[in-house]
A and B are shown apart, each in its own frame.
Chain A
Amino acid sequence: MPRRFRNELNWSDVTPKPLWLNRRAVLAGAAGLAATPALARIEAAQSAFSTDEAPNSLEDITSYNNFYEFGFDKSDPSANAHLLTTDPWSIVIDGLVERPGTYDLADVLKGQPLEERIYRLRCVEAWSMVVPWIGFELAGLLNRVGVQPGARYVAFETLLRPEEMPGQQSASLSWPYVEGLRLDEAMNPLTILATGLYGDIMPNQNGAPIRLVVPWKYGFKSIKSVVRITLTDRKPPTTWNRLQPEEYGFFANVNPQVDHPRWSQATERRVGSGFFADRLETKMFNGYAEHVAHLYAGQDLAVDY
């Protein structure tokens, strides 16, 4: 008679979450979480698009944010984002789509395979991080709602709710935050809608409950807390471009050769690597050239910055 399997492990043997999220453990285990998907609360498949670089700690990722809806300081979002209600949440999908409508978040997620995508994130301010996102390809959602033949761009909009987003009470940027992609960029398999990170649901300060992640573009393109997705035939306005068109282009591809008018983009600081860490060379398309360079064949990226 075969011996029955007996689990000798107790709950006391489970590694406490703060420990397995410990940055040193993550570094030691080289993408530690990727190696232990069983501990993740959200089941997500691994992806060939993931980098093997060590992700930043959860603390870095959740305490160093540009999310001006919650304040200008990097630490403001982690201090203020608890004010945001993310449930219920729905997304208006409209414009040149076959099945426009207001989709509840659960409906948006329905049938979309969740993957863990460990991506580099390069901010236009010349710092970078590595984030283990959980999400699904935007193309999957767009195909489901049906893109009409005339559509050429996708426009995105962040929630406008000043009573929960104190930064929106000042007119520093025009609210709501809007962003956009060309349709071929939106359909690229690297482009995801992320609903979580580090195996857990998305922290509010990172753009809960659902945000865009476009890893070959500067971070400001990856719009957070999305409430509207509009397919359109013309290039949509984008927030930073509206504020300073000569500094922030529509494309905003990571490009070490095209500097921001006021500072260099040749190198970057990898945050979380300590006081004395060296700068890293910034890579063309943030290192994703093999997947996206063909999208810009024939374009002068110094003009289309």
Chain B
Amino acid sequence: MKDLINSAARHVPVWAVWLTGSAPLLWLAVQVVQGSLGPDPAKTMERELGLWALRFLMLSLAISPLRWLGLNLLCFRRALGLLAFAYATMHLTVWVWPDMGLLWQQMAADIVKRPYLLLGAGAFLAMLPLALTSSNMALRRMGGAAWRRLHRLAYPALGMAILHFTLLSRVWTAELVIHLGLSLGLLLVRLLPKRPVLGRVAAAKPPPGNKVAERGAATERNFL
């Protein structure tokens, strides 16, 4: 089963992830044009963009735990992370305008006063350097170790994003509980002392003397 999924995943081009990931945005755009986003379309748009940012961030952080279970979807992680950043950027943009209507003073006062806004801003700022260093060239320039250290910012980003969502809610809706539960799960699983290494064993043990494969395996480990 695992092998089936892994070999199927190898045939899925990354642009397909981009295409699928753009579907929510396209659907929202269609609804804005149709006027079917409800009586407060900007607010609905803002909420949906934020939720999709959160979901793509969660997906990008699900790649490693899935690898521990033997599913290798690593090649899609960059696209998922960048999709999360793109949705977060649009979410922030819709908040600034039209939601807050460019009321800079109220926005500034709110950000320092409201923990949920501080957390949202924090999550965005944590994702910003990750997006900026997402290219192969940035990875090469920084070196694997530094790059890996920097990209651990994804964890606080998810933590702040899910808290941001939680603090906005008036009651514990099923939607909130599911997102919160999955997010906490994705973060807590990182604390497990001994990770299952089922998939890694096969992938990371090149025959001795095969330098290229060894380097490849090392790079792969760097991504964990």
Contact = CB atoms under 8 A, between A and B. Distances in A.
Nearest to B176: A72
Main secondary structure of the interface of A (DSSP, over half): loop
B171 A264 contact: no
B171 A271 contact: no
Contacts of B41: 274-275
A264 B100 CA distance: 11
B101 A64 contact: no
Nearest to A170: B174
Interface string B156-188: 000000000001101111000000000000000
Contacts of B109: 264
Contacts of A272: 39-40
B210 interface: no
A63 B114 contact: no
A60 B45 CA distance: 17
Contact of A275 (B98, B114, B167): B98
A141 interface: no
Interface string B54-95: 000000000000000000000000000000000000000000
B114 A269 contact: no
Contacts of B114: 262-264
B110 interface: yes
Nearest to A266: B106
B143 interface: no
13 contacts: A59-B39, A72-B171, A74-B38, A172-B172, A173-B171, A259-B113, A264-B113, A269-B42, A269-B99, A275-B32, A276-B42, A279-B100, A279-B101
What bracket does the count of chain A residues touching chain B fall in?
20 to 34
A266 B101 CA distance: 13
A65 to B, nearest CB: 10
A262 B115 contact: yes
A262 B116 contact: yes
Contacts of B173: 72, 172
Interface string A108-146: 000000000000000001010000000000000000000
B43 interface: yes
B198 interface: no
Contacts of A238: none
A64 B103 contact: no
B103 A60 contact: no
B111 to A, nearest CB: 11
Interface in A227-286: 243, 259, 262-264, 266-267, 269, 271-272, 274-279
B38 A267 contact: no
A173 B99 CA distance: 29
A75 B38 contact: yes
Given A263-B114, A269-B99, A64 B38 contact: yes
